Amino acid sequence: MSERNVYRKPDDRVLLRTADVYQTEVADEVTSYSERLLAIVADFKNSGAPEGFNAQSMVGKSKRGEVACRLFARIDPQTGIIEAAGFKARGCLAMTGCASAVCAFIEGKGIEDALAVTVDDVSGMVDGVPSDKAHALYFAVCALRALVGDFLLRDGASLAQLDEAVPCDELSVPCIMAEHCSLRQSRLECRMEEEEAANELAQHNAVADVLGRVRANTGRGLLTCPSDWADLVPAHLMPAEFEALVLESLQEGMADEAADLLAAGTADAASGGEPAAAQPSEFANRGVGIPRIFGARAQAGKAEADAAEAPAMPPTKRVLDYGTPDSADDDDFGLVPPEGYKLVQVDGQWGLVETDEPAAPRRRPLRNEGIRVLRGGKAPYLYDSAYMKPSFARWAFLAQEDDPLAAFAYCVREDSRLYPRPLAETSLANRPFNMDAAMVAALWDEAHRNPAYADLARLEASNGDVYYYSTEHLSAELARSLAEWASVERFMNV
């Protein structure tokens, strides 16, 4: 095999070395080329980019020396007429001749004519090429298609419109031969942009769905944590990434401080400190939680939250009595049918009917007003402050963190410090704790053996009602008198 040196100047051959045309096939035998192709190469006048060009393309390969074909064109956006075309070529004489020939051919023609050019057409323009130069024919055709595709994309065409106007088979011979193709790259970039836009819309709507679920759960007296929206995580995101997006979507100032309510032995009541967001509940004079008698109010809140979360229902089919259109072209009366429906005329009447085409996803509003977060030991918990007070949110947080002993101790200390009063055992049967007497007794036995809860104490009223209190805030005498009044004396005064 002879040594190839593209930088060695041959003694008996003049190579093309211009700003627009660069011949790399130094061993090219001109005898194998047609007279027409050699005449085109000897006298081409359309090299370079024409002034004001608004479309360009490039195809080529890089094996055994670079072969490339770049086309430029100035196309009238109104008519699609190619007013001027030019080229840059690198490789063999066949590539130069084919590129120049197709540029001369498409000038003055429409973009449809450029797309109709075939390999045989290019071969006819140059009276054929040597068999080992057939790639030049394919590159010229591919460059023409890429040129039109680039114009359409610059003109605002979508990927679907591009695929319809300039279909591409990536397994075809031209695509396989062309290692580099600007149209292929443009399609890839369009796919990536559309996928990115679709992913952004999907994650936006998923966050909106999460906030809707937060409101629905709040109406049921529940907090919402990441495990409750696992089914809403978009396919392109990891659960942790989506959780961060949800938290970032909340309005500034809507996040509460970290809720360290479960740290045994460091509760606010034991230290005498003031809890970060402690305030009496609407049901403060009835104990912690919401008594079941108020279930109707909670159900009303749930219904309102569910209504906010439910997607809008499509309109029922009905006949629109707007008369008859003035012309055959004016068949929509300026109306925009709802998503998934179209206007049709049946027996002289116009009405809405469902379409078979899938509805394009729409960007749903992101309603984050009033959404707050409690950052617990296991996960962040979200709730809607319009439906749930901070006091109940803390109770729900304690219940959902699934540490009943710490929740029991917190409620006893909170009642003793905040109101002050001893905590009735029956109060823990309220929502969201739902603890029966046996469970409360077991928790008391466990707390009684744990030094971290040494401030907790138990007493019984004269009628047998059981109460718990914290000695840090209530003396035994005061706790007993308050319990006796709550269970016995206040009923005697009614």
Contacts of 279 (CB under 8 A, 6+ apart): 389, 390, 391
186-193: Cβ within 8 A, 24+ apart: 186/146, 186/149, 186/150, 186/153, 186/162, 187/149, 187/159, 187/162, 187/163, 190/153, 190/158, 190/159, 190/162, 191/159
Please give the distance of CA 271 from its chain centroid, rounded to a whole number.
Answer: 46
Give the chain's largest Cα–Cα span.
126
| 33: DSSP letter | S
Residue 153, CB half-sphere, CA atoms under 13 Å: how many? 24
Q: Is residue 264 over pLDDT 70?
A: no
pLDDT at 29: 73
252-291 burial by CB neighbour count: b if 16+ within 10 A, else e? eebbbeebebbebeebbbbeeeebeeeeebebeebbbbbe
More confident: 472 or 328: 472
How far does the chain reach from its first CA to its final CA, in angstroms? 116
Residue-wise pLDDT tens digits, 362-388: 888 988 888 998 887 778 899 999 888
Q: What are phi and psi of 67, to 5 degrees?
A: -125, 125
Single pTM value for the model: 0.63
Tens-digit pLDDT profile for residues 154-204: 999 988 899 999 988 777 777 777 788 899 999 999 999 999 999 999 999
- Residue 440: predicted pLDDT: 92
Sign of the CA dihedral with 245 first, then 246, 252, and 258 last? negative
pLDDT given at position 84: 95
Higher pLDDT, 180 or 271: 180
Instruction: Judge whether residue 20 has pLDDT over 60.
Output: yes
Burial class (CB in 10 A: 0-12, 13-18, 19+), 127: middle
Rounded to whole angstroms, the Cα distance separating 161 from 296 reads 55
Place of tokens 């901070």: 390
Nearest-angstrom CA–CA distance, 494 and 363: 58
CB 82 within 8 A of CB 108: yes
Place of tokens 């047998």: 464
Structural domains present in the chain = 21-178 (3.90.1010.10), 215-308+368-492 (no CATH), 319-354 (no CATH)
Residue at token pair 């046996």: 438
Report the alpha-carbon distance of residue 96 to residue 127 in Å, rounded: 14
Element (H, E) at 379: none
Q: What does the pLDDT read at residue 196? A: 93
Lowest-confidence region among 2-6, 123-127, 195-199, 236-240: 2-6
Q: What is the pLDDT of residues 382-436, one digit of tens each?
A: 999 988 888 888 888 888 877 889 889 988 998 999 889 999 999 888 878 888 9
* The two structure tokens encoding residue 488: 């016995």
